[in-house]
Structure 1
């Protein structure tokens, strides 16, 4: 049985996976290797979220009820839950690249079948196939990232994964709403959208992802996969139909719960005897893995509760279209996007992750608790704040629970451990959606029954028929009094879900309190495997600083300057060892004749060598012990007097000085140093017409991939300044109140400060009030069309009937107002714009 060899890892380094015997991967190489993965994840998440706002329409068209609505979501989550451990185990046995491509193909098949569905049962079956593919993509993306990237660096790239999740989650509901509202497309096209993205991902993965394959005899635990699927399925069937087809305490409940427990016990028995268990039970001896899995279960319940039932709230309780339903969930997704990205970047810099888990648990609990107070007429800005808190909490916890688990396991168990955490998150989502769907139905019925007395007797019969049909009602067909009554019931009933979920999120917070923070390792799984193979082949090979870190001898903050996979290079291992220190009678060590060498390479941007860098070795008490100047190729050597811990300081012109702790044993130590450049960017933002400086303008800098690098606000003199930027081409975007935003490319040099001057043009505005015979008209739709017939903007009026458009070009426009019979008016926008363009709507004869 062969294992991954250093040679295989060296071949892999071209496309990802820096190792101990190759140059460290650059950010560009890592992103090329991850591009197909992120695109595949985008396709899976997009196809999952794009139906969220279309589900009420889909289930109505196919003739389903609330249970069908729940199972369309649950079926996908169940398949994802059951298959995730299987994908994870296969990833430890066969080619990860082949597996992720197979998962994409399964996902494409499921999407096509779902788009052709003509009944709820066919759609649910197709969603099972989609879930199988999505389970593979979600598990394998985390596993492949962990194989290539060290835990210390992985926070940054987990942030990219979280950002992909957020963008797809934002774009999915919005795109799904637009497609559903477009007559010549319809909801079926929502299920086809992910197919082209998946096919492109297949092509990109074939070109960019190259990983060494561990050739082993595959022993898949099919029995374990069957019993865990059967146990979860039986549990979900029980909670879906409880309180609907039968009561919670009934013979059906006892039979199904007892059967689920029995199947779980059989599963545990099978796993304890399987040669290659789908979920190695020994992993749960690790406290961090056990607690992270439990916390992921609670996070899954909370996360899916929000993403699934918000669409019903906005469409059935507030009467919004599928498109607007997607727009209104942006605060939650924005919070998730910000927290997952920012936490990943900061974890990469500091190596500290537990504080983010604790903060996420508190924010998630607070957001859910506040959401339980919403009603059908609650001010939207209140709900937006509550959703943002919830999104911030989920973003801080979701990826970082996987990260802390991956940091605890050996390379051979990486796939299984990662999939265990993902499994419990998906399990929580599946169980949560099923239970909460049943609870929501009963709570809506309860609130509707309590308030039906508010209706007139002749309206109560029609109201009873609307509630008793078993189908999701079409609010547009109901008379106004019945619609308001039913919207109130839905608003209150859906809010009760968040009341029940908030304590579960708090349990997740309590569990994270018990997780012990372990310093993040500084080498990826492939590099660790290479080290293990090298040590097996040559026991005398020197142990790199990474070994000391794992042993707990290096503080958590030590490796801030060591790039992933560079702690121990060929330069160090090939050097002839010098005479080691010897022990004296009193136990102290005396240095050998020439000390113990610490050598490596000083690197800067894009891993380029930094010549003439000053490298100083000092003791922990601050005494200088050695000094060296890096050669033209960046290499340096300093001698440590004896074994122990030392501080290594490197400095060079045009770079920030760096300090790190190294542990020296009796053998030469290889330690590469990464210096950050001090390139900067400054400039002036001014008004293009007057030339006056613009104070308070927001300056945003992104790289060529669109990743956010820095933001700053201009001062009173319109000036701004940024430091510590990576050299290369960046995009500078500027926006300020009263001006049109502008973006332009700027080249940041390797040293010094680049300067740019940005001129902003003023943007015109248009505002007014939509009135009806009885006064200002709320919820009217106002559409602005330019002279070429393009829609320049769309807005809804508030309670005061007001609307507004900003950042307009001068020219001719047509304003179309709807809410009553539509009215179109033409106007010319010049200079600062037009105020007081009021429109009166009325029915004929009023």
Structure 2
């Protein structure tokens, strides 16, 4: 019979160290490729953010449609994030990263060809499909290559890349919109050459072995979750405008959404490979981190997405100037994420930085809640810096305690779950806060028109907003712009309250010192313990008990789906 030890010998990769692990150079090269892919996706997203007011105005869209142009991408990425993670157990992870980038690029090109807002919303959903893949794979692969404590050091470069995309996107988008011979459609096309470069870099640097295992993708669970959330978001967006809050249509949508989500929970308890493994929530850190991720996701996506609209509609700045005005927030985020990451790596402690970050984020939102359409821009810049500093410290590091507590075989599932709920919070935040903004703008516009002695008539409300702003008389247009400036403060207020809820959740998390071993090394330790146990049960060269071998084989591929899938102890094909 064959020796168990020889069966478990790790395959040696080309150019790797003798024990089969990735060398430091290989890990850094792979990290560069992953960051390049994320940069292209984030750049393509942020380029559009500053152009949206112009796009919606040109296509005669409404405030609700403005919201759904953003929500469609977030919702599609949320629903598909765990599915991409499951596919990673079946095929090459490098191919999946490249495929997700291609899908995102295709959605960008199609969005540039859109001739109506509903068409644009649909193509933005295609972008979300690709974004979901990038979200699912990048952080999981990084978790495999670097230990939780070491990971803090590399969160800085990752945050810097994200911040650079956040800076460059609005600026490039603003310049494109302000350039008459280009137009807003080029905000979608400009990312195509960058995507090609990213694909080449990933092809040359990301070399991961493939370990296949028998998995079942929980399509039903993902569909029910996405369906239930979508129905409730549609209800929040349309209620009070297309139909009354207390109406048959309203009650029907709420009931349908609740039933779909209840069925989703039931499905997750029965699925062999659920989208959201409910057993993970037995861990207190996982539960509280999920609640904090939802609250922070709602606040971050929901609050920040309306900044460009505030600067352009309420304050009258050009798209390029609006991009420049967000720089304090971006610099604050870049600085805090880099410094906090280095300190976390140095001291191995994370809770104090999460608490400081959540506090600063809540303070930034609450300070912005005091603004209106006449607030001094220098003061707004200070508030944005505080907000950015809080976001950079909280968002980038919130996944660390979850990955630190997770078992090696649960690392991928835990990371994907946190990402899932953060995106879900973002999608809900954009939709809910967009509805709050739209309703408050309608109220303030009506009050402003009445106060000016103008009959509101059918032009009052959100209809006298983005869809026909250019055609409105100057006096009415000024009232609408002032309404947007004053109403945005309420969005920041709600975001601030939600950020405080995230702070409370973080405060109740128990701090555990960050481990100094990578996900793959933790898996090696678990395997070694199992093999040692197996050796104690063998005599006269007998084979290891089949049930124990099966147990070892179950642990190892589980990490492969959630990390780089090194596949120690099993034949692996290069990706």
Q: Which residue in the other structure is 1:165 paired with?
A: 162
Looking at structure 1, the residues matched to 70 and 515 of structure 2 have their Cα atoms a distance apart, in angstroms, of 37
The answer to whether the Cα contact below 8 Å between 2:60 and 2:467 also exists between their aligned partners in 1 is no
Superposition deviation, residue 22 in structure 1: 6.4
Pairing partner for 1:150 from 139, 147, 167:
147
Q: Is the 8 A contact 2:243 2:249 kept in 1?
A: yes
1:745 corresponding residue in structure 2: none
Q: Closer, same or farther in 2 for the Cα pair 1:49/1:468, shift >3 Å?
A: closer
Partner of 1:133: 130
Which has the larger displacement, 142-151 or 493-502? Answer: 493-502
Question: Which aligned pairs between 1:289-304 and structure 2 lie closer than 5 A?
Answer: 289-304=286-301
Q: 1:359 touches 1:393 (CA, 8 Å); kept in 2? A: yes
Residues 10 and 20 in structure 2, CA contact (< 8 A), matched pair in contact too: no
- Equivalent in the alignment of 2:538: none
Aligned with 1:490 (options 484, 491, 499):
484
User: What is the deviation of 1:447?
Assistant: 1.6
| Distance (Å, rounded) in 2 between the aligned partners of 1:491 and 1:51 | 21
5 Å-filtered alignment, 1:421-820, equals 421-455=418-452, 457=453, 460-461=454-455, 465=459, 469=463, 472=466, 478-539=472-533
Please state how far the C-alpha of 1:464 moved relative to its aligned partner. 6.5
Conservation of the 8 A alpha-carbon contact between 1:221 and 1:276 = yes
SS in 1 for 2:349: coil
Contact between 2:312 and 2:318, CA under 8 Å: does it hold in 1?
yes
Partner of residue 67, structure 2: 70
Distance 1:82 1:346 in 2: 34
Q: Deviations over 1:529-587 (max 9, x none)?
A: 2333344445599xxxxxxxxxxxxxxxxxxxxxxxxxxxxxxxxxxxxxxxxxxxxxx
Write the distance in 2 (CA, Å) between the matches of 1:295 and 1:377: 33
Using the TM superposition, give the Cα deviation of residue 63 of structure 1 relative to its aligned residue in structure 2, in angstroms.
2.1
CA contact (8 A) 1:444 1:493 kept: yes
Q: What CA distance in whole angstroms lies between the structure 2 residues aligned with 1:199 and 1:218? A: 32
The verdict on how the C-alpha distance between 1:416 and 1:89 changes in structure 2, with shifts beyond 3 A counting, is farther
In structure 2, the residue matched to 1:320 is 317
Taking a change above 3 Å as real, the CA distance of residues 254 and 531 of structure 1, as seen in their structure-2 partners, is: same
Contact 2:171 2:320 in 1 (8 A): yes
Residue pair 2:443, 2:461 contacting (<8 A) in 1 also = no
- Assess, with a 3 A threshold, how the Cα gap between structure 1 residues 191 and 525 changes in structure 2: closer, same or farther: same
Q: State the alpha-carbon separation in 2 of the partners of residues 59 and 250 from structure 1.
A: 30
Q: Deviations over 1:96-140 (max 9, x none)?
A: 222212211211211111111111111111111100111110221
Structure 1: how far apart are the matches of 2:305 and 2:406?
Answer: 33
Does 1 or 2 have the higher relative contact order (CA < 8 Å, sep 6+)?
Answer: 2
1:196 to 2:196 alignment: no
Q: Is 1:307 matched with 2:301?
A: no
User: Greater Rg, structure 1 or structure 2?
Assistant: 1
Contact 2:439/2:462 (8 A) holds in 1: no
The structure-2 alpha-carbon separation of the partners of 1:375 and 1:78, relative to structure 1 and needing over 3 Å to count, comes to same
Shift in Å at residue 495 of structure 1?
Answer: 1.0
Contact kept in structure 1, 2:446 and 2:461, CA below 8 Å: no
Shift of 1:371: 0.4
Give 1:241's match in structure 2, choosing from 229, 238, 241.
238
**CA shift at 1:306, angstroms?**
3.0
Q: Kindly indicate whether the alpha-carbon contact (under 8 Å) linking 1:318 and 1:376 is maintained by their aligned counterparts in 2.
A: yes
My pick for the range that moved more, 201-210 or 177-186, is 201-210
Q: Specify which of 354, 357, 362 is matched with residue 360 of structure 1.
A: 357
Report the counterpart of residue 686 of structure 1 in structure 2: none
Partner SS for 2:305: helix
Inter-partner Cα distance in structure 2 for 1:59 and 1:358 = 38
Helix, strand or coil for the counterpart of 2:207? coil
1:75-116 CA deviation, whole Å, 9 max, x = no partner?
A: 001001111122233335543222212211211211111111
Contact 1:64–1:471 (Cα < 8 Å) also in 2: no
Distance in 1, matches of 2:339 and 2:245, equals 44
Residue 46 and residue 538 in structure 1: after superposition, are their counterparts in 2 closer, same or farther (change >3 A)? same
Q: Give runs of aligned pairs for residues 241-390 of structure 1, distance below 5 A.
A: 241-390=238-387
How many residues in Structure 1 have an aligned counterpart in Structure 2? 532
Cα distance change of structure 1 residues 5 and 509 upon mapping to structure 2, 3 Å threshold: farther
Q: CA deviation at 1:438?
A: 1.0
Instruction: Could you tell me which runs of 5 or more consecutive residues in structure 2 were left unpaired when the two chains were aligned.
Output: 536-575
CA contact (8 A) 2:143 2:518 kept: yes
Pick closer, same or farther for the CA change 1:478–1:226 going to 2, 3 Å.
closer
**Shift in CA distance, 9/410, structure 1 to aligned 2, threshold 3 Å:** farther
**CA contact 1:89–1:415 (8 Å) conserved in 2:** no
Change (3 A) 1:274 1:379: same
Is the CA contact (8 Å cut-off) linking 2:111 and 2:123 kept in structure 1? yes
Provide the rounded CA distance (Å) in 1 between the counterparts of 2:329 and 2:273: 40
Determine if contact 1:337/1:395 at 8 Å carries over to the other structure.
yes
Look up the SS of the partner of 2:390 in the other structure.
helix
Q: 1:462 to 1:231 in 2, by over 3 A?
A: closer
Distance in 1 of aligned mates of 2:353 and 2:131: 27
Tell me the TM-score normalized by structure 2: 0.88
Greater strand fraction, Structure 1 or Structure 2? 1
Q: Are the equivalent residues in 2 in contact too, given 1:42–1:165 (CA < 8 A)? A: yes
Query: How far has the Cα of 1:487 moved from its partner?
Result: 2.2
Question: Is 1:9–1:527's contact at 8 Å kept on the other side of the alignment?
Answer: no
Alignment partners' CA distance in 2, 1:113 and 1:394: 32
Q: Deviations over 1:403-431 (max 9, x none)?
A: 11111112322222111111111111111
Q: Matches of 2:239 and 2:115 in 1, distance apart?
A: 27
Whether contact under 8 Å (2:290, 2:421) holds in the other structure is yes
Contact map agreement 2:100 2:134 (CA 8 A) in 1? yes
Q: Residues 303 and 433 of structure 2 are in contact (CA less than 8 Å); yes or no, is this contact kept in structure 1? A: no
SS at match of 2:209: coil
Q: Is this contact kept in 1: 2:293–2:422, CA < 8 A? A: yes
Distance 2:180 2:457 in 1: 29
Distance 2:89 2:288 in 1: 23
Question: Does the alignment pair 1:95 with 2:69?
Answer: no
Q: Is the 8 A contact 1:219 1:275 kept in 2?
A: yes
Task: Return 306-315 or 504-513, whichever deviates more.
Answer: 306-315
Q: What's the secondary structure of 1:53's corresponding residue?
A: helix
- Give 3-state SS (helix, strand or coil) of 1:502's partner: helix
Cα–Cα, structure 1 residues 464 and 12, in superposed 2: closer, same or farther, change >3 Å? farther
Aligned-partner Cα distance in 2 for 1:466–1:323: 30
Q: Distance in 2 between matches of 1:436 and 1:325?
A: 21
Q: Distance in 2 between matches of 1:471 and 1:378?
A: 21
Does residue 11 of the first structure (1) align with residue 8 of the second (2)?
no
Query: Larger % of helix: which?
Result: 2
